[in-house]
Chains A and B, each alone.
Chain A
Amino acid sequence: DIVMTQSPDSLAVSLGERATINCKCSQSDLCTSNNKNYLAWYQHKPGQPPKLLIYWASTRESGVPDRFSGSGSGTDFSLTISSLQAEDVAVYYCQQYYTVPWTFGQGTKVEIK
């Protein structure tokens, strides 16, 4: 199975500051194909279903604020929140959706410092 490893496991950022979460795919040829990165980012708050933020590694889902951005290719990907807001407190997950079994990272908890 492909292992998706996120770092850090948690981070505390001041309001208005930048937060960056990293995600590493254990095998590049199993997360990427034909120059397409099958990598998504989700935001998950308690009591709610996960919410898709980013897909194809860098395409923002409709309605997602532009302070959220995704980057990376091959094995290394990142999610950046450019200016952290109080409503961004959540757990964030990356996921590869190219090779079954599709797999999620272990999650990164984002808090306010």
Chain B
Amino acid sequence: EVQLVESGGGLVKPGGSLRLSCAASGFTFNNAWMSWVRQAPGKGLEWVGRIKSKADGGTTDYATPVKGRFSISRDDSKNTVYLQMNSLKIEDTAVYYCTSWTAAGGAFDIWGQGTMVTVSS
């Protein structure tokens, strides 16, 4: 069964840091481009960033609001992707989803259940 399981969410103060993890199973993780998407309370979906497979260079790209503060990395030996979030702001409060594709050519056909991050003093 194809599965993505996020962990690491929680409550953090503004300016703080948090690292989210996403464990993958059921597909060839080392070939996958992994993304993070978030949804703030009462808002729509927002793509956060992605990391390509190592075979495709392993490079990362980020949405403008998180560039320079967030970083995505991967450990193919553990089938896990990470989202390191630094200098957190109140507006980063959201459910964070890990997502990728297996057969949809770039559209996100697999999603985790999401993990909540709350930035508050």
Contact = CB atoms under 8 A, between A and B. Distances in A.
Q: Name B's interface SS.
A: strand
Nearest to A1: B64
Given A40-B108, A42-B108, A49-B112, A101 B47 contact: yes
Interface band, chain B: 20 to 34
Contact of A107 (B45, B61, B97, B111): B45
Contacts of A59: 104
A51 B113 CA distance: 11
A107 B40 CA distance: 13
B105 interface: yes
A37 B105 CA distance: 11
Interface residues of A, number: 27
Instruction: With a 10 A CB-CB cut-off, give which of A38, A42, A101, A105 has the most chain B CB atoms.
Output: A101
Interface string B42-54: 0011110110000
A1 B61 CA distance: 13
Instruction: With a 10 A CB-CB cut-off, give which of B107, B109, B112 has the most chain A CB atoms.
Output: B107
Interface in A41-97: 42, 44, 49-52, 55-56, 59, 61-62, 91, 93, 95, 97
Interface of B: 35, 37, 44-47, 49-50, 61-64, 97, 99, 103-109, 111-114
Interface of A: 1, 38, 40, 42, 44, 49-52, 55-56, 59, 61-62, 91, 93, 95, 97-98, 100-107
